[in-house]
């Protein structure tokens, strides 16, 4: 596999700020690729949408549960990215009671497009979204790549397995070379 550097992007996030009064104490905060990936070895996984069934029932909760096992494999952070805006991603994180996995809102799809994983999901009324994939990324360089089969627009199925946390963990534990 060609060594890939993750694209340089600025993400528009909303963060809680207790100094703000009123019912919605959040402010905008830009976060860059360097903020998320610089100097860290992380697992990034990407999915078609917040609140969707497989993502909410299996993929995100399983990464959350297996966090300590990933840490034991030398992973500093686990990031979940989706082509959804920060309001949706924050609401999803709250609904999931996340403590470990951090959510990255790629609302405009720029990161997903530049990493080559943007697909149409117009068949579901979703517009442009991410194909399911995951990666181990060391200081911004893709070390291992896990992409579901059948990358395509308006795919009628939703393959899920290669990018499941159990598979990535097994790969890390086995110390295998890149899964391209």
Compute the distance between CA of residue 158 and CA of residue 173 in angstroms, rounded to an integer.
27
Compute the distance between CA of residue 29 and CA of residue 40 in angstroms, rounded to an integer.
21
Site of tokens 């399983």: 62
Compute the distance between CA of residue 160 and CA of residue 39 in angstroms, rounded to an integer.
29
Q: Count residues contacting ligand BEZ (CB under 6 A)?
A: 8
> Would you count residue 124 as binding ligand BEZ (CB under 6 A)?
yes
> Would you count residue 54 as binding ligand BEZ (CB under 6 A)?
yes
> Would you count residue 49 as binding ligand BEZ (CB under 6 A)?
yes
- By DSSP bridging, strand 41-47 and strand 133-138 are antiparallel
- Interface residue with ligand BEZ among 22, 39, 53, 125 (CB under 6 A) is 53
| 7 versus 159: smaller Cβ distance to ligand BEZ | 159
Compute the distance between CA of residue 28 and CA of residue 160 in angstroms, rounded to an integer.
33
The interface region with ligand BEZ, picked from 46-54, 77-85, 89-97, 139-147 by CB under 6 A, is 46-54
Q: Which of 55, 66, 75, 155 is catalytic?
A: 55
Q: Is 55 a catalytic residue?
A: yes
């Amino acid at each position: 596999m060609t060594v890939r550097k993750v694209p340089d992007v600025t993400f528009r996030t909303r963060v809680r700020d207790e100094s703000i009064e009123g019912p919605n104490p959040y402010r905008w905060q830009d976060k860059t690729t360097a903020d998320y990936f610089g100097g860290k070895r992380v697992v990034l996984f990407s999915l078609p949408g917040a609140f969707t069934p497989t993502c909410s029932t299996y993929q995100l909760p399983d990464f959350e549960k297996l966090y300590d096992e990933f840490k034991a494999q030398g992973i500093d952070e686990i990031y979940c990215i989706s082509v959804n805006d920060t309001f949706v991603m924050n609401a999803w994180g709250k609904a999931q009671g996340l403590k470990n996995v951090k959510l990255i809102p790629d609302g405009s799809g720029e990161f997903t497009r530049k990493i080559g994983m943007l697909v149409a999901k117009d068949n579901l009324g979703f517009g442009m979204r991410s194909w399911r994939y995951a990666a181990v990324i060391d200081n911004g360089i893709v070390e291992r790549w896990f992409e579901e089969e059948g990358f395509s627009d308006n795919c009628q199925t939703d393959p899920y397995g290669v990018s499941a946390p159990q598979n990535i963990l097994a790969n890390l534990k086995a110390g295998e070379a890149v899964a391209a």
